[in-house]
Amino acid sequence: MSRQLSAIATLASLCLVTACAVNPVTGRNELSLVSEAQERQIGAEQYGPSQQSQGGQFEVDPELTAYVSEVGQRLAAVSDRQLDYEFVVLNNGVPNAWALPGGKIAVNRGLLYELNTEAELAAVLGHEITHAAARHGAQSMTRGTLLQGALAVGTIAVAVNDDLRPFGDYIVGGAQLGAQLITQTYGRDAERESDYYGIQYMVKAGYDPRAAVSLQQTFVRLSEGRTSSFIEGLFASHPPSQERVDNNQRDVDALMPTLAGRDLEVGEVRYQQAIAKLKQTKPAYDLFDEAEKAIADDDLEVALGNVNEALELVPNEPRFHGLKGDIMVYQRRYREALTNYDEALAIDSNYFDYYLGRGVANARLNNRAAARSDLEQSAKLLPTAIAMNELGKIALTDGDRVNAKQYFQQAAQAQGQIGQEATAAFISLDVADNPASYVSAEVFADQGGRIIARVSNRSPVQLGRIEVEFAAVISGSIRRQRVAVPALPANAYQDVGSGLRFPEGTTWTQDMMNAQVVAAGL
């Protein structure tokens, strides 16, 4: 049997024991381990945290979101699959758009700057609608191609142990799935399908499909110029190419003879009117972006100057107030930071980062009850390692070891320094409760009858205060001895003598001796 026939046979057998479904867009039979109900549930559960992780909704211009949603629903109405489609504009300057399973779609304000017409917006949204309608995200989960791990978001800086050090926030828990879904790179076939069917939806909705060609031509030019913001955003998950331009051109050329006499819309004037406020306020958001870069470069005074200028231009933008609060935390001006976060929350009470920052500031001021409330609210909106780590510290200060361990364990899912800190904090508590989970002792006797244990530290941190209890049957009596190991590096072992010894001539067996770890700590 050829490899191709073997693969077909394997797929057929899998369909019998699992589930095969007809793709509502392409009409092909596909192996599907994610049901439509699960798709809808995943999209509904992950939509909120995914928005939070990407800057939150663009609250200062609700009319813009309403406009984008109107265009999106117009396209969704003619798609091959009816889902609970939703569309939002995110307060993120990186040019990007993404779709979650179940039809949950987002467009960054950074991408809207780069479009010229409503038809180009329709090309973007039609492409994302196809990703959802054709089950591309669900198929990625079926294939198991999603990466594991946390996604870095935000740049709030916190002072820890009196040192001024920046920590990135890391998504932990169930929200990691949404992070993986919106940052995945689709395969070549999925991108081709989304381009092709997106063009079909444009035409059905009354838009000029030639905008899909001009849009890709623009993206190719920008990619050749290596525009960094695009590479960080749209190009990372939807790489442009001349091949995509050529494919779109062929698809449009094939359609045009059938569209003679139709009044297809471009919508340049309407689009420019819709983004007029966005373009007017762009200098303020450019200053905001520069402030974030200055923070990354540890130039806090420049960052503060930039954000103050941005606030003069757009005083009702909560992200500006929030970033100023972050700078105050960096500078250990915690009371001033509280004022900035309060101002941000007065405008938008539904963004995790303001609660997170205020929680950190309150924790540094030892306002533990207020800090706990803010950090818990932040974690409800988006569970992050920094919130869990701070909650763990508060619980530990309050003498609540059980909850402290749970918080530190969640924070330990993250990569980087904060994950390492949380891991060490968790182990410092758990090793006292479960020392044998981290340290093992394998007992043996040497040729002279001396009883020895090979003590191994299986944890990722150095442990100390290790106590090993030996027991042995020697000359018909049980003898016990406890031996201390002062320190043992991570993933290292040490042979430790017990001081016990079988008399010369004794025929000993392994079950006549034992060693177990009874205590350990950091």
Closest by CA position to 90, among listed 235, 274, 278: 278
Please give the residue that has the higher pLDDT: either 163 or 420: 420
Say yes or no: 207 and 223 in one domain: yes
Q: What is the C-alpha separation between 278 and 92, in angstroms, rounded?
A: 12
Q: Are 340 and 328 in contact (CB under 8 A)?
A: yes
Q: What are phi and psi of 520, to 5 degrees?
A: -165, 160
User: Residue 16's pLDDT is what?
Assistant: 40
Say yes or no: 198 and 255 in one domain: yes
Say yes or no: 381 and 463 in one domain: no
Q: What is the C-alpha separation between 127 and 212, in angstroms, rounded?
A: 9
Residue with tokens 């919106």: 182
Say yes or no: 112 and 213 in one domain: yes
Q: Are 217 and 195 in contact (CB under 8 A)?
A: no
Say yes or no: 230 and 294 in one domain: no
Q: Which of 84-88, 179-183, 271-275 has the lowest mean pLDDT?
A: 179-183
User: pLDDT band for position 187 (50/70/90)?
Assistant: confident
Q: Are 278 and 61 in contact (CB under 8 A)?
A: yes
pLDDT in tens, 468-502: 999 999 999 999 999 999 999 999 999 999 999 99
Please give the residue that has the higher pLDDT: either 90 or 5: 90
pTM score of the predicted model: 0.84
pLDDT in tens, 454-467: 999 999 999 999 99
Strands laid side by side in the 477-488 sheet: 477-488, 463-474, 513-521
Q: What is the C-alpha separation between 182 and 29, in angstroms, rounded?
A: 25
- What mean pLDDT do residues 376-395 have? 96
Quick one: DSSP state of residue 115?
-
Taking 80 as the threshold, does the pLDDT of residue 153 lie above it? no
Say yes or no: 413 and 388 in one domain: yes
User: Residue 155's pLDDT is what?
Assistant: 38
Say yes or no: 234 and 269 in one domain: yes
Q: Which of 54-58, 146-150, 339-343 has the lowest mean pLDDT?
A: 146-150
Q: Are 344 and 311 in contact (CB under 8 A)?
A: no
Tally of residues, the chain = 522
Q: Which of 433, 454, 474 is at the close of a domain?
A: 433
Q: Which of 399, 414, 433 is at the close of a domain?
A: 433
- How many folded domains does the chain comprise? 3
User: pLDDT band for position 109 (50/70/90)?
Assistant: very high
Say yes or no: 476 and 380 in one domain: no
Q: What is the C-alpha separation between 84 and 450, in angstroms, rounded?
A: 72
Within 94-211, strands assigned E span: 97-100, 104-108, 152-153, 157-160, 163-166, 169-170
Taking 90 as the threshold, does the pLDDT of residue 414 lie above it? no
Other C-beta atoms closer than 10 Å to the C-beta of 62 total 11
Taking 80 as the threshold, does the pLDDT of residue 177 lie above it? yes
Q: Are 77 and 205 in contact (CB under 8 A)?
A: yes
Residue with tokens 């994302």: 128
Q: Are 395 and 376 in contact (CB under 8 A)?
A: no
State the residue range of the domain holding 512: 435-521
Please give the residue that has the higher pLDDT: either 322 or 96: 322
Q: Are 475 and 445 in contact (CB under 8 A)?
A: no
What SS3 class is residue 515? Answer: strand
14 located within any domain: no
Q: What is the C-alpha separation between 209 and 218, in angstroms, rounded?
A: 15
Long-range contacts of 183-191 (CB under 8 A, 24+ apart): 183/151, 183/236, 183/237, 184/137, 184/140, 184/145, 184/146, 184/147, 184/237, 185/236, 185/237, 185/239, 186/131, 186/136, 186/140, 186/237, 186/238, 190/131, 190/134, 190/136, 190/139, 191/238, 191/239, 191/244
Say yes or no: 313 and 270 in one domain: no
Residue with tokens 């038809």: 119
* Axis-axis angle for helices 300-313, 282-296 (nearest 10): 160
Q: What is the C-alpha separation between 372 and 386, in angstroms, rounded?
A: 13
179 located within any domain: no
Quick one: DSSP state of residue 510?
G
Say yes or no: 306 and 255 in one domain: no
365 located within any domain: yes
35's CB contacts (< 8 A; 6+ apart) are 19
User: pLDDT band for position 234 (50/70/90)?
Assistant: low
User: pLDDT band for position 147 (50/70/90)?
Assistant: very low
Say yes or no: 449 and 471 in one domain: yes
165 located within any domain: no
Amino acid at 299: D
Q: Are 16 and 29 in contact (CB under 8 A)?
A: no
- State the CATH number of the domain containing residue 395: 1.25.40.10
Dig out the tokens for 227 from the structure.
């525009």
pLDDT in tens, 339-381: 999 999 999 999 999 999 999 999 999 999 999 999 999 999 9
Percentage of the chain modeled with pLDDT above 90: 68
User: Residue 237's pLDDT is what?
Assistant: 64
- State the CATH number of the domain containing residue 500: 2.60.40
502 located within any domain: yes
Within 27-168, strands assigned E span: 29-31, 86-90, 97-100, 104-108, 152-153, 157-160, 163-166
User: Residue 427's pLDDT is what?
Assistant: 93
353 located within any domain: yes
DSSP-derived secondary structure for 370-414: HHHHHHHHHHHHS-BHHHHHHHHHHHHHTT-HHHHHHHHHHHTTS
465 located within any domain: yes
Instruction: Give the CA count within 13 Å in the CB-facing half-sphere of 198.
Output: 30
The Cα-based distances of 166 to 72, 98, 342, 355 in angstroms read 39, 29, 22, 18
Taking 60 as the threshold, does the pLDDT of residue 13 lie above it? no
Please give the residue that has the higher pLDDT: either 9 or 169: 169
Closest by CA position to 242, among listed 228, 259, 221, 261: 221
Q: For all residues of the chain together, what is the average pLDDT?
A: 87
382 located within any domain: yes
User: Residue 332's pLDDT is what?
Assistant: 97
- What mean pLDDT do residues 160-176 have? 56
Q: Which of 388, 403, 433 is at the close of a domain?
A: 433
Say yes or no: 45 and 115 in one domain: yes
- What mean pLDDT do residues 259-285 have? 95
